[in-house]
Each structure stands twice: as C-alpha cells, then as structure tokens.
Amino acid sequence: MKQNNKLYPLNCVCIIIFILFLQVSSPVEAKVDTYLLNQKLDQIMEKPFLDGALTSLSIRSATSGELVYDYNGDYRLKPASNMKILTAVAALSILGGDYCFRTELLSNGKVKWGILHGDLIVKGKGDPTLQKSNIEEMVQKLKKQGVKVIRGDLIGDDTWYDDVRYSIDLPWSDEMMGYGSAISALTVSNEEYDVGTVKFKVSPSDKFGEQAQIVMEPTNTYLEIVNLTNTVNEQAKTNLSIQREHGSNRIIIEGNVPINATEMEEIIAVWEPTEFALHIFKQSLKKHGIKLLGDISRGVTPEGANVLISHSSIPLSEVLIPFMKLSNNGYGEMLIKEIGKVKTDEGSWENGLDVSEQTFSHYGINTDTVFLRDGSGISHANLIPANEISKLLYSIQKEDWFTTFFQSLPVAGNSNKMIGGTLRTRMKNSQGRVRAKTGTLTTVSSISGYIETKSGETLIFSVLINNIIDNKLAKKLEDEIIMTLQSL
C-alpha cells in the first residue's frame, strides 16, 4: 500500500504544538533567582552593627531541600528559643500529637461513712497544663465519691521525673523569673501556661501615701508578700520592683506607683512547685468542705494504692500552641523529661536529650556538630548550625504530624496572641505568609521557619545571630532578610 508522505510534515507540526502546549499548561516549580538573592542578602549582611558579631544564615527550597543561600551556615551558634523547634519535633515524633499527660488522686485507704481512712496521694505525671480549675474539678469529683474527711496526709508524688529542678546552665538570677521556673512532674500552671508560677497584679490605691493593691493569680497563702509600695501623685514615675528572695517564697514588692497608673503585671516562679501544687489542692479541699486531718508533704505512692480520680491534659497537639507561640520555657524542659521517661523510664534532662538526638539523626541531622543542654534554649551552651535547623525543617515536611507542627509556629503580623505569638508585632505587611520560631537571649537573636514568596514558592530559613550588642537591631535585620525573601 502506498503511503501518503505529504501528511508527515503536518503530523510533525501537530506533535510540536502539542508538546509546547504541555510545557505551557503543566505546573512549573517557581525558581528563585539565586544570583539576585545572593546580591541582596550579601548587601544586607554588610550592616556595620554586625562587626564583631557571629551571624549564620541558611535558606533552602522547601520543595527540593536545596540550599539557595548559605552564609556561615555550618557555624555552630547559640539558637536561643529556636531550640524549641528541635524539642517540638522530638516530642511529636516520639510521643505523638494525641499524647496526653495525667494527674492522679490515689489512696492507700478506703472510704467509709464519708471518711477516707488513709492518705490522699496526688501523683503528677508531667502535665504542664494543670491549672487551678483542673484541681477544682478533681476535688469536686472526690467529694461526689462521698469523701468528707481525710484521716491521713496529703502527699505529693513527683517521682515521675527526677528531682533535678533546674537545667544545668540556668543562672540562679533567673530562678525567680517566670521563664526560669523549677521543673517538677507535679506543677500548677497559670492562665498563660507558665508552669510553677504566680502572676502578680499591682494597682495604685485610691489615696496618696497608701500601699498599692496586690492580687495574686492563683490566689494563695503559700507565698509571703512584703508590700513596701507607696501610691504617689500622677506626675511621679513608676519604679516598681517585684523580687523573690533566693531559696524562699518571700516576695518583696517595693517602689512608687502613680495614682493614675494602669495595672502592672509580673510573673514570678515559686521556689518549690510540688509543694505549691499541694497547697492549691489543700486550698481546694477546704473550699469544697473536705477536711484534711493530716499534714502535706512530698512522698512516694505506696504499692497497692488505688486510683480514685484521674485527670488527662489537653493533647500534645494543643500543648504545642502555647509552647511554640508564647515560647514557654517550662514546657520545653518538661517535654524533654517526658521523652526520657517514655523511652527510658527515667524522666531526666540527660536521657531526654539523648533520645532526642537519636530522633534528629533520623532526619539527617549531623548530631556530631550539635551540642544540646536543655529543651527550651535558655542555655548559652546550646550549639547548632543554621544549616542543620533548615535541614530539619525540610525533612519533617513528610511527617503526618507536620501540619500540627506548622500550625504551632507564630504567624507574623497576626495580633491574636495565640496565633501571632512572639511575631504578632513584627512584619505586619507579610499577610500571614511567614511562620517561624523566634529566639532571644542576652547577646543572642534567632528566627527559623517558612515563608511563601511573592512568586508562590515556599522557602525555609534559619537566622542565628550571636555576640550582638543590640537585640533590637538584630530583630530588624531578621525582618529585612525575611521580607527580602518574600519579595522574590
């Protein structure tokens, strides 16, 4: 059969047109102009105030993981609260987003005629979210079980974790601050989720010369307040000081408070969180008409004790919101200890960090170049390169729990505290395209996360700045870097 060769040129043309159509209509990954990016970032990194500082910057494609900009990316630097990224990853990987923490009420006696013939044991299992309202609920349930009198003692069992209260590098001067609270498996959190702390609210009196009014949340008599304040005229300046004496629960509040001043707040950590939790329990027992005949003390749950009440926390997926968005240090340390407890049956910093490092290796992190001392980043001894942080942020995108992690990150420019978190007043023109974890210590500033560029590509970034004199200038530099990325 004779072929019609005249059709061949026409067929070739059709095929070429079809191929061109596919190329135009198929989605193409947006590519960053690396030459332009390098020019812009190199110029930013020449800021005079960076002279004498150490700066590390790592930018990756979220799609390929390829490094598109590297400025001292392999330098080991202090991450500050960017350490919480690593802790959150380890917690999600090991515990899972549905993981809950428990607090139990147990007894070695039985209830007869409204009398509990034995001790009431409060066993803490690392719940960082336990609040006074949860304690009230537990006590109400105990009352419904018919308990009117407790013949024994009220005992706090915090042996779920070891008895080391502070991470190894926490300075004693930070121990009274809300961000440096002591860590216990039995602790009470305030409404802003700061573990083992009390919020002080100070407002002026209605009359000159009188002491300022002081309110504690939660209300308690565990702390001793020494009120040395004075209400002064409106022209005077506020010079209020709230200090806890080291090694005690004596709070000294002193200074002048102008009569027209707004209410001032300060969060102070208690000296012994387990005893504070027991005090709140005792307070609640009294409020609900349950008489405690014995004393309160720390102790160990005896064998054979029966669980009377069990309280479960919110799941880890929700715990990560205040942890990451509000940069809650106490949560970070408790999560590390919980990881150690679950995997090795020892709730300690050492075991928790060892297990965490094994997890990071799974994501391709070179743990030989990482030095970790805590779960919050408060230690000045923590060291990690920016390239390792960006690599971790890339690798975890494949995990089922990645959405949970991503949503826990502060959103730049969102004024809602539980959404914007520590970025709520920064990069307000970013239109919600920046999600990142911030970090701040004296002489240290950091930020790492994700950004959607103008062209639609997602980039991963990590900026670590050490030995900086002015943290405000460092934050402005970080914002300039990130907004430069967004403009691409």
Select which of 61, 81, 379, 390 is catalytic.
81
3-state SS assignment for residue 350: helix
Catalytic residue status for 81:
yes
- Of the candidates 165, 171, 74, 72, which has an alpha carbon nearest to the alpha carbon of residue 381? 171
Select which of 58, 93, 313, 327 is catalytic.
327
The whole-angstrom separation of Cα 154 and Cα 118 is: 10
- Of the candidates 4, 89, 95, which has an alpha carbon nearest to the alpha carbon of residue 409? 89
Select which of 40, 84, 125, 341 is catalytic.
84
In this structure, the number of other CB atoms found within 10 A of the CB of residue 438 comes to: 25
Residue 386 β-bridge partners: none
Both tokens assigned to 47: 């800021």
Query: Which residue type does 130 have?
Result: L
The whole-angstrom separation of Cα 45 and Cα 465 is: 11
What are the angstrom distances between the C-alpha of 305 and each of 3, 223, 308, 347? 95, 31, 9, 22
Catalytic residue status for 84:
yes
For residues 69 and 41, the answer to whether their CB atoms sit within 8 Å is yes
Query: Which residue type does 210 have?
Result: E
For residues 324 and 88, the answer to whether their CB atoms sit within 8 Å is yes
Q: Supply the residues annotated as catalytic.
A: 81, 84, 327
